[in-house]
Amino acid sequence: SMTQDEKENPKIIKKTRKRRIAIGSGTEYAVINKMLDQYNQMKKFMKRFMQMRKKGGKGGPKLPPGFDQLFKQFGGL
């Protein structure tokens, strides 16, 4: 039930939009909040990951085998 603008820029999703999305998708308001929280956490993680990757991965956790290939498959996020 999200508009294209909301999908491309979740920052614009405020209380009234969350309510509309919850009603339109048949879910509870709390589920929408949780989904957006998870999205923001993943966004922060990927930002840190990309910074670590640009620095050559020094000081960070070792990645599982094949992770680079998986990363490329998703367009480098």
pLDDT at 75 over 80: no
Nearest C-alpha neighbor of 47 from the set 8, 16, 71, 77: 77
User: What domain range is 46 assigned to?
Assistant: 4-73
- Categorize the per-residue pLDDT at 56 as very low, low, confident or very high, splitting at 50, 70 and 90: low
Cα–Cα distance, 28 to 23 (Å, whole number): 7
**What is the model's pLDDT at position 44?**
87
pLDDT digits (tens, 9 = 90+) for 4-55: 999 999 999 999 999 999 999 999 999 999 999 999 898 888 888 777 777 7
> Can you give the pLDDT at residue 34?
95
Q: How many domains does the chain have?
A: 1
Closest by Cα among 35, 38, 68 to 50: 68
